[in-house]
Amino acid sequence: MPALEQSRPDERPLYVRVAGSFESQIQNRSLKPGDKLPSVRDLSRRLGISTATAVAAYGWLERHGAIHARPQSGHYVAARPPSVPEPRTETRTHPPASVSIGELVLEVQKTARDTRFAPFGEAVVSPELLPAARLNRSVRMVTAAFPQHATIYEAPAGNPRLRRQIARLAYRLSCTFSPEDVIVTSGAIEALNLAIRAVASPGDVVGVESPVCYEILQALESFGVKALAIPARPRLGPDLAELERAFRKHKIKCFLMSGSFQNPLGYLLPDPAKADIVALAGRLRLPIIEDDAFGDVAFSPQRPRPLKSFDRTGGVLYCATYSHVVAPGFHIGWIHPGRFRARVEALKGITTTATPSLPQLALAEFLESGAYERHLRKLNEVLFQSTRMLGAAVAEHFPEGTRTTLPDGGFFLWVQLPGNISGFKLYQAALGERIAIVPGMIFSPHKQFRDCVRLSCGWPWSDQAESAVRKMGQLAERLLRSKG
Amino acid sequence: MPALEQSRPDERPLYVRVAGSFESQIQNRSLKPGDKLPSVRDLSRRLGISTATAVAAYGWLERHGAIHARPQSGHYVAARPPSVPEPRTETRTHPPASVSIGELVLEVQKTARDTRFAPFGEAVVSPELLPAARLNRSVRMVTAAFPQHATIYEAPAGNPRLRRQIARLAYRLSCTFSPEDVIVTSGAIEALNLAIRAVASPGDVVGVESPVCYEILQALESFGVKALAIPARPRLGPDLAELERAFRKHKIKCFLMSGSFQNPLGYLLPDPAKADIVALAGRLRLPIIEDDAFGDVAFSPQRPRPLKSFDRTGGVLYCATYSHVVAPGFHIGWIHPGRFRARVEALKGITTTATPSLPQLALAEFLESGAYERHLRKLNEVLFQSTRMLGAAVAEHFPEGTRTTLPDGGFFLWVQLPGNISGFKLYQAALGERIAIVPGMIFSPHKQFRDCVRLSCGWPWSDQAESAVRKMGQLAERLLRSKG
């Protein structure tokens, strides 16, 4: 039974701290595989915490594969504990930089999309996990119900039925908003592009997390907007003092971040941390562009709250998408632009005029039927399994000293290689074996994270996947030896 | 029988010059309504022109409503001759200007889209003229044939089947290109946006025709690109010396123009003029962005050649769309970016990632079946009729001194009001009568064309339309009197 460390302030929720104490004990082998843990009632009495907190702590450990529950018996330390520590993250804020990652990103995207490669590259869910037949039923229904769909221009802000459904589902986000607050976009990327252009002009500086998904860096580069990289701290989020300094010193026009399953780190900020960021930004009148592309891929029953749910001043431009997890071919995202609504709607009209009707109508039908929530539950179960299997495979096959994240949502791991192995060299070597991965440096405007790679696993785990990870581990070993 | 004026060089095709001579005679009343014209054989003999040219000249006059043919009898001067001269156009090139037409354009667009207003505003074809049922059949067919369409990301460059069909139809443009040359976009607006961003950066100067469609000015404004307005000369196109001066003096990064049924002037450049522009731009290595949004709405049997068909250096970025004339709800345009292909494809990926699959697949089926060409023939017949009826109604009901275009394609007239009446005031007064039109000043980065309006007529002519034009005429009369 670990004691809770109380000596230094810890901003994590209580249940995570409880779980973390157990995790340390497992890692330093004071708790061994097969050991039985105290009952929930016992734990709560001994630590003076509520039973709800005790249940949540065990839930967290289960989801992380550290323990497992046996019905009618109790909780036991798992056979294969998470033996791999987390990657180190940056702590320094770099000066603003013009972004120029273009060429390499295009190459990486090309190979990531190449179906002849083992798909650890692109952050895409395998079609076999998506509800093709149900979506086709939606298409047939709306084609019959709206026979004029093809001959009428859609409004720039989007189809009213779809906007109504998105607003109806706001309860999942612990938000309340009206259909008029929603602007439908061509995927998350258009939403982010519009948000950036609504608050920043060429030459301006924008704060981003570091690492950050390369699509955002591409967008900034294409508009001539500079990026100020503010370190992303797992489970703590950006340092607020650092953010305020960036605002005052570099006059950043907005801060672009994910609070839930950030791409590529995959961490989930606790609600109080989210509330604090939004409150600070509100005080500074600093707009936040929230990229919530993976918030729906949550491995806990409760979908996390976005930053938007803490927004009282309309300063959060919330960007989301249905492309990733349900219908890539429909290519529909959306934005709640807060107080920037007029500007974003005008930009949408100027850039692509409108989003096609038929995919919007079909998605509206799909959402209205309740099929979306049912689909998500099934999908997230599979993604949870394969993410955990990938984590275990990396722990087993990669060289000693490798560090990896083990996120509670999303479907990618951020892996830090030991001995300063180049992630780019591993990327190149893996290509030679027909395995696509993404080198870490393209997640940074400063080409940091040179010893990192991102591995995606948006598909059911398989023996081939296991072999591919083994192969990557061998390649990494070889790179490590060739340096020594 | 008019003599051909040969004293000054005239770049118009011979048949247009022959027709123009007749038109002058009709306007100065040396030929009167009901007068019989010489037979084709007679005309060809007397002027020393081919019978084909004589037939083409009479065809042109018929299409312009100046004469009509009686079977087995011959050609006669029409009862209501085109009594309205063409609007004057600008001749001066203005210095480059930052564009700021934003607010007014948004207001104009809002009213133009409002279905409670008589629809002379938006350049949109009425849904009743579009093949809704046939397009739905395409949707049903491809949904059955490609049941996975919704679950797979489309390639940024577009669906291969659609790109193949677009390349197959290149013969209509007197072009030959491959599917790989085509990038599918979210409508013409995205195509133009990508083209502009591919060749110009914020602060750069771009040459545009003046007047020019306001969507282009909006795009330039949103990217911080300056516009150099080069006068558009009906049937002659831009002055080449002026264009070269603009290139040398203002370092324009590209020239953006339409050769066929330019919006708003509606004129068609003769092929030699198109060839000359492309040749000059090729020599200067000056990219041309060709907006061919209305090239398919041709009132003659022959679809006009685009500038692209004269391009030998890959310097023409050709932008077109299927939104206007067949499926606004699909919202599909495309671009042949010439030598800027890599840059445009990358920008497409960054901006909207991809275009939805289903509308692309359905449009590909529609094009492959031959339905598109059949649809166009029927559509253009209706649009020809209503454009001519609108022209006649303006001639009848607007104040004396009003000038209007009478285009050979497209479905809008450019109307210049007499006595310096403000087009914006007429726009406002018309709104009061629930009639939407577009004031001329938003077609200029310098707010020129203050005495002009654009009237669209993408629907079958009706008594209500006639009354609306009469009402506008009365409003214009009132504005004229209130100035005197």
Three-class SS of residue B52? helix
* Predicted local confidence at residue A90, as pLDDT: 66
Closest in A132, A153, A349 to B150, CB measured: A132
Is a pLDDT exceeding 90 seen at residue A256?
yes
* Predicted local confidence at residue B100, as pLDDT: 61
Nearest to B221 by CA among B242, B237, B238, B200: B200
**Mean pLDDT calculated for residue range A232-248:** 87
Superfamily of domain A102-127+375-483: Aspartate Aminotransferase, domain 1 (3.90.1150.10)
Q: Over the stretch B331-383, which tens digit does the pLDDT of each residue have?
A: 999 999 999 999 999 999 888 888 999 999 999 999 999 999 999 999 999 99
- Overall fold of domain B131-372: Aspartate Aminotransferase; domain 2 (3.40.640)
Nearest to B399 by CA among B379, B383, B421, B378: B421
How would you classify residue B434: left for phi > 0, otherwise alpha for psi between -120 and 50, otherwise beta?
A: left
CA atoms of B387 and B407, how far apart (whole Å): 8
Residue, of B469 and B407, whose pLDDT is higher = B469
**Mean pLDDT calculated for residue range B240-262:** 94
* Predicted local confidence at residue A7, as pLDDT: 42
Is a pLDDT exceeding 50 seen at residue A266?
yes
Is a pLDDT exceeding 50 seen at residue B65?
yes
**Mean pLDDT calculated for residue range A106-121:** 86
Min CA distance, A319 vs chain B (Å)? 14
Q: Which residue has the tokens 């990486």?
A: A108
Nearest to A315 by CA among A290, A347, A351, A346: A290
Cβ distance A130 to B151 less than 8 Å, yes or no, reads: yes
Contacts from B368-373 at CB under 8 Å and sequence distance 24+? B368/B161, B368/B165, B368/B168, B369/B138, B371/B131, B371/B134, B372/B169, B372/B326, B373/B172
Is a pLDDT exceeding 50 seen at residue B5?
no
Cβ distance B102 to A346 less than 8 Å, yes or no, reads: yes
* Predicted local confidence at residue A162, as pLDDT: 98
**Predicted confidence band at A304 (pLDDT cuts at 50, 70, 90)?**
very high
Give burial (CB, 10 Å; 0-12/13-18/19+) of A273.
buried
DSSP assigned state of B84: P
**Predicted confidence band at A81 (pLDDT cuts at 50, 70, 90)?**
very low
* Predicted local confidence at residue A193, as pLDDT: 96
Residue, of A102 and A62, whose pLDDT is higher = A62
Three-class SS of residue A109? helix
* Predicted local confidence at residue B6, as pLDDT: 43
CATH of domain B102-127+376-483: 3.90.1150.10
**Mean pLDDT calculated for residue range B156-162:** 96
CA atoms of A16 and A300, how far apart (whole Å): 13
* Predicted local confidence at residue A6, as pLDDT: 43
Q: Which residue has the tokens 């950066």?
A: B201
Three-class SS of residue A429? helix
Cα dist. A7→B79, B117, B334, B476 in Å? 99, 71, 63, 82
Contact map slice: B 200-229 vs A, CB within 8 A? 201-203, 215, 218-219, 222, 224
Cα dist. A50→A14, A73, B257 in Å? 10, 21, 71
The whole-chain average pLDDT of chain A stands at 89
Interface contact B354, partner A, CB < 8 A: yes
Residue, of A4 and B322, whose pLDDT is higher = B322
Is a pLDDT exceeding 70 seen at residue A57?
yes
CA atoms of A150 and A163, how far apart (whole Å): 19
**Mean pLDDT calculated for residue range B445-465:** 93
CATH of domain A128-372: 3.40.640.10
Please state which of the ranges A268-277, A329-338, A443-452, B55-64 shows the lowest mean pLDDT: B55-64
**Mean pLDDT calculated for residue range B321-336:** 96
Going from N- to C-terminal start, the domains of chain A cover 14-77, 102-127+375-483, 128-372
CA atoms of B36 and A87, how far apart (whole Å): 91
How would you classify residue B109: left for phi > 0, otherwise alpha for psi between -120 and 50, otherwise beta?
A: alpha
* Predicted local confidence at residue A32, as pLDDT: 79
Residue, of A235 and A429, whose pLDDT is higher = A429
Q: Model's pTM, two decimal places?
A: 0.84
Percent residues over pLDDT 70 in chain B: 92
Is a pLDDT exceeding 60 seen at residue A366?
yes
Is a pLDDT exceeding 90 seen at residue A190?
yes
Structure tokens at B304: 């006009």
Q: Over the stretch A406-460, which tens digit does the pLDDT of each residue have?
A: 888 999 999 999 999 999 999 999 999 999 999 999 998 888 899 999 999 999 9
* Predicted local confidence at residue B99, as pLDDT: 61
Give the nearest chain B residue to A149 (CA atoms): B329
Structure tokens at B68: 């009509």
Min CA distance, B320 vs chain A (Å)? 14
Q: Which residue has the tokens 């306007």?
A: B27
Cβ distance A143 to B136 less than 8 Å, yes or no, reads: yes
Is a pLDDT exceeding 80 seen at residue A3?
no
CA atoms of B288 and B266, how far apart (whole Å): 19
**Predicted confidence band at A99 (pLDDT cuts at 50, 70, 90)?**
low
- Overall fold of domain A14-77: Arc Repressor Mutant, subunit A (1.10.10)
* Predicted local confidence at residue A5, as pLDDT: 43
Cβ distance A224 to B202 less than 8 Å, yes or no, reads: yes
* Predicted local confidence at residue B1, as pLDDT: 47
**Mean pLDDT calculated for residue range A459-465:** 94
- Find out whether A164 and A340 touch, Cβ atoms under 8 Å: no
* Predicted local confidence at residue A9, as pLDDT: 52
CA atoms of B303 and B325, how far apart (whole Å): 14
| Exposure string for B152-165, b = 16+ CB within 10 A, e = fewer | bbbbbbbbbbbbbb
Contacts of B377 (CB under 8 A, 6+ apart): none
**Predicted confidence band at B298 (pLDDT cuts at 50, 70, 90)?**
very high
* Predicted local confidence at residue B7, as pLDDT: 41
Residue-by-residue DSSP string for A178-239? -GGG-EEESHHHHHHHHHHHHH--TT-EEEEEES--HHHHHHHHHTT-EEEEEE--TTT-S-
Cα dist. A259→A293, A373, B460 in Å? 10, 21, 54
CA atoms of B465 and B46, how far apart (whole Å): 43
**Mean pLDDT calculated for residue range B265-273:** 90
Is a pLDDT exceeding 70 seen at residue A79?
no
Is a pLDDT exceeding 50 seen at residue B2?
no
Min CA distance, A360 vs chain B (Å)? 10
